[in-house]
Amino acid sequence: MESYERKVYFKQLELGPMQNFVYLIGDPETKEAAIVDPGWEVQSIFKTLEADGYTATKVLVTHTHPDHVFGLSEILDAVDIPVHVHKDEVFNLHVEQSAIKEVEDGRVISVGSLPIQVMHTPGHSPGSQCFSFAGRLLTGDTLFVNGCGRCDLPGGDPVQLYESLNKLQKLKSHTILYPGHDYGNVPAISLGEESKKSPFLKQQTCEDFLKLFGLA
């Protein structure tokens, strides 16, 4: 059986004032789950997991901008679980050092027996990363439906973002993209569909990409 056909527990929750998506990924056999980007409304995250019969065993963060990590301390006050963050953004995560698990490109994080692969995709921020599992890709603020992350914040880099978006386009076209914010006309889309219409995925050269931001 190919990995994208395997059964997973997966929920996309739109929470908070900035249209953030918080994701829950779990193994239906062990009932373990990861919380991805807990920016807001921690109690409703816990309630959802409880109602579905899952226990949070780890947190994953796509990057450390406040709207993706506001809820971390409330989570860590309630449960003793590790927070997986890219090594280039550990400095920006203000939680108990012992809770931090540094990860890097290519690392596999297991939730129960479900493997989740880390892809380092700098550009929006130095330690931005995407999570790939079971035919899905959580893209954080690297890629949105019909958009991509801004790169004018501290640590942002448009050339790196161009390279990261190229890297994502090498994934299978039926991969479903799940962004960090609900900024598009649909909450998720296949890579193939997105590649057809998004100007941010169509640029042949970095210079053309930079022109979209008025930078070339």
DSSP 30-65: TTEEEEE---S-HHHHHHHHHHHT-EEEEEE-S---
The count of residues interacting with Zn ion (CB under 5 A) is 2
Site for Zn ion, residues 133 to 162, rule: CB under 5 A? 141
88 near Zn ion, judged by CB under 5 A:
no
CB of 3 to Zn ion, least distance (A): 28
User: Rounded to the nearest whole angstrom, what is the least distance from the CB of residue 65 to Zn ion in the complex?
Assistant: 3
| Cα gap 143→88, rounded to integer Å | 19
Least distance (Å) between residue 93 CB and Zn ion: 14
Q: Which is nearer to Zn ion, 89 or 141 (CB)?
A: 141
- The phi and psi torsions of 157 (rounded to 5 degrees) equal -155, 110
Closer CB to Zn ion, 26 or 155, in the complex: 155
Helix extents (H) in the chain? 42-52, 66-69, 72-78, 158-168, 191-197, 199-202, 206-211
The nearer residue to Zn ion, 46 or 144, going by C-beta atoms, is: 144
Using the Cα atoms of residue 116, residue 117, residue 119 and residue 120 in order, give the sign of their dihedral.
positive
Is 65 or 120 the residue whose CB approaches Zn ion more closely? 65
Amino acid at 11: K
Span 47-66, contacts to Zn ion by CB under 5 A: 65
Residues near Zn ion, by CB under 5 A: 65, 141
